[in-house]
Chain A
Amino acid sequence: MSIEIENLTYTYMKKTPYEKDALKNVNLKIEEGSFVAIAGHTGSGKSTLMQHLNGLISPCSGTVKVDGVDINRGGKEKIKARHSVGMVFQYPETQLFEETVYADIAFGPKNFGLEPDAVDKRVKKAMSFVGLDYEQYRDASPFALSGGQMRRVAIAGIVALEPAYLVLDEPTAGLDPKAKHDLLENIRALYRKGNTTIIMVSHNMDDIIGLAGRIIVLHDGCVAADGMPQDIFKKNDILQAAGLRAPHLTQLLRQINEQAFPVRSDCLNKSDAADAVCAAYYGREKDAR
């Protein structure tokens, strides 16, 4: 079970002077149960690629298969396959429309034909997932919330669909540091639970580090790099060409490496890094003695 993208090409405003190749011959396979980050500079085609995953955009050429079903061909199976991919858009709070938070989160599950009890359960679960108190917020108007809270309601609206694949397009854009941290923790917790494959778009490597097991770098509509975070962060030239930079942690370790003493620079979290620095530092002292 996986999402398979083959020779995907997409052009916006085809046959007009504004023609723009947003994706050029992209080949990818996203395994079930993985946490994949898609990184790239603004305009590199990340959002375009995302929208192909549940058939919102049909490819100009190439195929997108979800669990073996081509989502742009065929009947009933196609719709089921599309439903197994949940999509959180960039700035999802702009899609809220219901009178209450509850009704808005319930919109998706209802459309998918769930019974009222099941919908109720889903809404409760989704709200606790994004850290909104059910009793306090269920009757609130989504338009009376703060931006960060609106974002959470919108994300809950997708999480309530319990998709097998959850796609998030820059979920942390425009959030304050705490809200950002909380949201990333929520996403991590959802992934840990184990039955959701997560595909997250971000151009901030600091958001991705420690979360994703694989990073795909998009540059100008092509896959520029694809691999484990440690390996990707090492490829400084590719990152730079794609308009990205390694996370702060990697940069710090690299600086220590260059200016002080040799230390491993492929650590993915703070405690690992601290251990590595200590080990390198004491190792050096021992050598000196």
Chain B
Amino acid sequence: MLDDMMLGQFFPADSVLHRMDARLKIMLLFIFIIAIFLCDSKTDYILLTLLNIILMTVSKIPFVMYLKAVKPMFWIVLFTFIMHIFSGEGTIIADLWIFSATWEGLTEGIFITLRLILLVLMASILTFTTSPLVLTDALESLLSPFKKIGVPAHELSMMMTIALRFIPTLITETDKIIKAQKSRGADFSSGNIIQRIKYIMPILIPLFVSAFRRADELALAMESRCYRGGQGRTRMKEMKFGRLDFFIAAIAVLIIAGMIVLKIKGI
């Protein structure tokens, strides 16, 4: 039932994207997101979409996975799309009562939809190709310059690691509790809202109880292994910026430069 959750899922494979330094991936994602928001012409969108498709192919992860990642957004995307079609001003395609669909609205709608989908796809490429542990390490490393101004980089990344680590556990647990209560005749799929809310308690309470118990045990386990925060902590796997990363960074710089030039020239 909860098997379809693709959030933060990692798929081990042997691709360039998997081997890349995670810090570079995060930075490039950042730049890509900015690029998406700067997009305003057909060529821009075509280029970004192409780049996205190339990256998805390079990642060696089945396309179905990306579809699943986008699926939860379906209704939001549809809603925005329809909103845009009817809220633009310009050449009218069709009239529906007091609303009218316009060509301008339609193109705007397509662009916005594409924007949302590209955002999710890019973020998925990052999480699909980077193990959560590496991802949080990379974040810590990227945030560490800000430690001087009081950003608790290590603590933030530790919190994220723990959260990511326990998402699958909690999903499994929720699944099991739902099944157990179903076997006791709890019916989650019928009845009105109040009846359904009543059946949430038998799931939430055991879930909270076990989450608290786990938190407690984890804290104890960390204490007894002398965890004292990030100071002076070394790692088993140091992150290294290798040849591959320099190569990719160079390509990325070229692409970005090219895009900026195109923008300035006004194409």
Which residues of A line the B interface, CB within 8 A? 12-13, 15-17, 51, 54, 56, 83, 86-87, 89, 92, 94-97, 107-108, 110-112, 143, 157-158, 161
A16 CB contacts on chain B under 8 angstroms: 11, 62, 65
B179 CB contacts on chain A under 8 angstroms: 51, 56, 89
Do B3 and A13 have beta carbons less than 8 Å apart?
Answer: yes
A83 CB contacts on chain B under 8 angstroms: 185
Task: Provide the bound-state CA to CA distance between A118 and B47, in Å.
Answer: 70
B24 at the interface (CB under 8 A from A): no
B210 at the interface (CB under 8 A from A): yes
B186, B209, B210: most-surrounded residue (chain A CB, <10 A)? B209
Which chain A residue lies CB-closest to B64? A15
Do B186 and A111 have beta carbons less than 8 Å apart?
Answer: yes
Query: How far, in Å, is A188 (CB) from chain B's closest CB?
Result: 23
B230 at the interface (CB under 8 A from A): no
Which chain B residue lies CB-closest to A54? B183
Task: Provide the bound-state CA to CA distance between A108 and B183, in Å.
Answer: 8
Task: Provide the bound-state CA to CA distance between A87 and B180, in Å.
Answer: 8
Which chain A residue lies CB-closest to B177? A95
Do A95 and B181 have beta carbons less than 8 Å apart?
Answer: yes
Do A96 and B3 have beta carbons less than 8 Å apart?
Answer: no
Secondary structure dominating the interface of B: helix
A51 CB contacts on chain B under 8 angstroms: 179
Do B183 and A17 have beta carbons less than 8 Å apart?
Answer: no
Do B206 and A97 have beta carbons less than 8 Å apart?
Answer: yes
A96 CB contacts on chain B under 8 angstroms: 206
22 contacts between A and B (CB under 8 A): A13-B3, A16-B62, A17-B61, A56-B179, A56-B182, A87-B183, A92-B180, A94-B180, A94-B210, A95-B177, A95-B181, A95-B184, A95-B202, A97-B202, A97-B205, A97-B206, A97-B209, A107-B202, A110-B185, A111-B184, A112-B185, A158-B183
Query: How far, in Å, is A60 (CB) from chain B's closest CB?
Result: 12
A54, A94, A143: most-surrounded residue (chain B CB, <10 A)? A94
Which chain A residue lies CB-closest to B179? A56
Which chain B residue lies CB-closest to A112? B185
B72 at the interface (CB under 8 A from A): no
Do B3 and A89 have beta carbons less than 8 Å apart?
Answer: no
Query: How far, in Å, is A147 (CB) from chain B's closest CB?
Result: 12
Task: Provide the bound-state CA to CA distance between A111 and B182, in Å.
Answer: 10
B13 at the interface (CB under 8 A from A): yes
